[in-house]
Structure 1
Amino acid sequence: MTASSSLATNAANLVAVSVAGHIAHPGFPGLPAEPYRLAADGRPFLLPAYGGIVYNVSVGDRAFGWAADCVHPGISLRQPEDTRNRGLNVYACVGNRAKVMTGPAAGAKGVVTGKSGRFSEQVIVHFPREARKAMAVGDQIVIRSEGIGMELTDHPGVMMKGIAPELLAALPSRTDGKRVEFGVVARIPAHLAGAGLGLTSDGGSLHMQSTDRALLASLGLDQMRLGDIVAIEDTDSRYNHGYLRGACTIGVVCATDGPRAGFGPGIAILMTAPAGEMGTFAEPAANLADLLKLEA
């Protein structure tokens, strides 16, 4: 096995630029809608959803079992104006470094760990638990964005999607010169791809369906953790997400499970290849908490 740092890239030509967002307030649908949502079996539920500062769920924790609906670990960022928020969501790459600029936690440092929200509204950032205690909704976070436009120069069929050079260098990998393989915790069958299909793959997340718990248990997918590097089989995510036999997409688990049909753990896409140029091998330790040495 070789480290990804040995893979040839155009990282020396990438542009580093600042993007920023404010810690987002959790929200619910506006009136006259009720705050309740429907679980897969038709039961109404009212649970915490994405947004805000989450004090007790972090990268490295379990993705299943929380009394929550697709909660983001750590903090969630957004910009109030749509085009700026789109810029934040696309520019921010998983593995980019972040810094708190305002409030009592100013100076605290974090790492981008995902992108999510119903329509790519938010960027997820990990900060140590102690720093989160000092934060407030509305605090400004600046991200050093670097990774947009990155290529594997020896593997042009593999498209990078919102991954920082630092994370790419930390991923376990191996190559025979023609095909590159990355270590993943789990492989997800294409028929379990859920919410997010058809939407852009340059922001937001693709959810794994989790209604069939017996199937998940048989595949070991119910043991996934937030921050796990996973593969989605036969899925082409170059521009949006869709079934394509032989394709492979790799991403990171960035949001918890939820009760709704089609909304299991959210996965932020890191790379994709349409025709067998990229493969995977089992690596149970491939989690952002370890790969990027995140402070708890």
Structure 2
Amino acid sequence: MLLTNKSKLVMQSVQGKIHNPIASSPYRIGRNGLAQVLPATGGITYNVKVGDSCMGWVGDHIEPGVSIKNDNSLENGALNLLACIGNEARVISGEAKGAKGYVTGKHGGIDHVLIYFDGEDLEKMAINDAVLIKSYGQGLEIEGIEEIKCMNIDPVLFDNIGVIEIEKGVIEVPVVTEIPAYLMGSGIGGSTAFSGDYDIMTGDKSANLKFGIENLRFGDLVLLKDCDNTFGRQYLKDSVSIGVVVHSDCIKSGHGPGITVIMSCNTPKIKGKINKEANIVNYIK
């Protein structure tokens, strides 16, 4: 197991409410130019959960499980910045009060934090129920390899993934597939990867087959080649990022499954080892 600074990290509360889906127009324009009426972000999504396929749903940017947001924009900024994948979440109001789950991702643009709860708990929940998260993980560093920027991941989940040092200063991470930089779309150019996500573009069906995108699931770990997320999102040859699939495929041009980055290096110090079971559901206890 790699040594980290996890004992020095701060665990702090952040909170939001289950956010109703929103719609300013009934139509979403697909990459084929056609208007469609589809479910999209927000709410409680009962039949889509982490571990399920993120492809093929009749929807757009579908968020598995529960989507939360804070009405105060500054507080929502902190919620989206500090919550990390794997953090414990607890319902603190409504009929499901006391139910526990865990954070599965962060979705930029709509600025939602996504949470898994058991199905019987979902049935008791309602819009505006409050959810408290024990945020823990931002500032995580691997001792002796500070060039690798860790972000958005609970330190316990990081340990459970089984990241190993394969040679001095080089780590190996289990991933289900490797994605080339030219397939990364919406969200590219963002000023930080410590919040939100960016999308794998899925408009080219041959690429979807070649790189295993058709088989991706919510929660899968993926390697992004030549993708630098250390200080914003950009193309940089030989850089490497690791991310988690957080939302579904999309119909819009330049969009697709969303990736929240959990580590990045602007030099090739991160290697991927293909493991089709590299999904957070297999590492969260």
TM-score (normalizing by structure 1): 0.94
1:174 shift after superposition = 2.4
1:277 shift after superposition = 1.7
**Number of residues of Structure 1 aligned to a counterpart in Structure 2:** 283
| Aligned AA (1:172) | G
1:117 shift after superposition = 4.0
CA contact (8 A) 2:226 2:236 kept: yes
Q: Does 1:273 align with 2:265?
A: yes
Task: Give, in whole Å, the separation in 2 of the partners of 1:24 and 1:117.
Answer: 14
In structure 1, which of residues 228, 252, 258 is the aligned counterpart of residue 244 of structure 2?
A: 252
CA contact (8 A) 1:244 1:274 kept: yes
1:288 shift after superposition = 1.2
- What does 1:54-203 align with in structure 2 at a 5 Å threshold? 54-118=45-109, 121-175=111-165, 176-199=167-190, 200-203=192-195
1:281 shift after superposition = 1.1
In structure 1, which of residues 12, 20, 28 is the aligned counterpart of residue 15 of structure 2?
A: 20
In structure 2, which of residues 205, 208, 212 is the aligned counterpart of residue 213 of structure 1?
A: 205
| Aligned AA (1:39) | G
SS in 2 for 1:63: coil
Task: Give, in whole Å, the separation in 2 of the partners of 1:282 and 1:100.
Answer: 36
| Aligned AA (1:107) | G
CA contact (8 A) 1:256 1:266 kept: yes
Spell out, residue by residue over 1:91-113, the C-alpha distance to the aligned partner (whole angstroms, 9 max, x if none): 00011001000000011000000
Spell out, residue by residue over 1:218-247, the C-alpha distance to the aligned partner (whole angstroms, 9 max, x if none): 222210111101111100001211100000
CA contact (8 A) 1:9 1:153 kept: yes
Spell out, residue by residue over 1:54-83, the C-alpha distance to the aligned partner (whole angstroms, 9 max, x if none): 000000000100001011100001001111
Task: Give, in whole Å, the separation in 2 of the partners of 1:226 and 1:163.
Answer: 15
Tell me the equivalent position of 1:231: 223
Q: Which runs of 5+ in 1 are unaligned?
A: 1-5
In structure 2, which of residues 13, 38, 45 is the aligned counterpart of residue 47 of structure 1?
A: 38
SS in 2 for 1:270: strand
RMSD: 1.0
- What does 1:21-40 align with in structure 2 at a 5 Å threshold? 21-29=16-24, 34-40=25-31
SS in 2 for 1:88: helix
1:44 shift after superposition = 0.6
CA contact (8 A) 1:50 1:117 kept: no
Tell me the equivalent position of 2:275: 283
TM-score (normalizing by structure 2): 0.97
Spell out, residue by residue over 1:163-213, the C-alpha distance to the aligned partner (whole angstroms, 9 max, x if none): 110110111322123211101011111000010101121111110000011
SS in 2 for 1:198: coil
Task: Give, in whole Å, the separation in 1 of the partners of 2:73 and 2:22.
Answer: 16
Spell out, residue by residue over 1:240-284, the C-alpha distance to the aligned partner (whole angstroms, 9 max, x if none): 111000001101001000111111000111010001121111111
| Aligned AA (1:259) | I
Task: Give, in whole Å, the separation in 2 of the partners of 1:245 and 1:35.
Answer: 41
Structure 1 segments of 4+ aligned residues over 4 angstroms from their partners? none
Identity %: 36
| Aligned AA (2:270) | M
Task: Give, in whole Å, the separation in 2 of the partners of 1:68 and 1:192.
Answer: 21
CA contact (8 A) 2:13 2:132 kept: yes
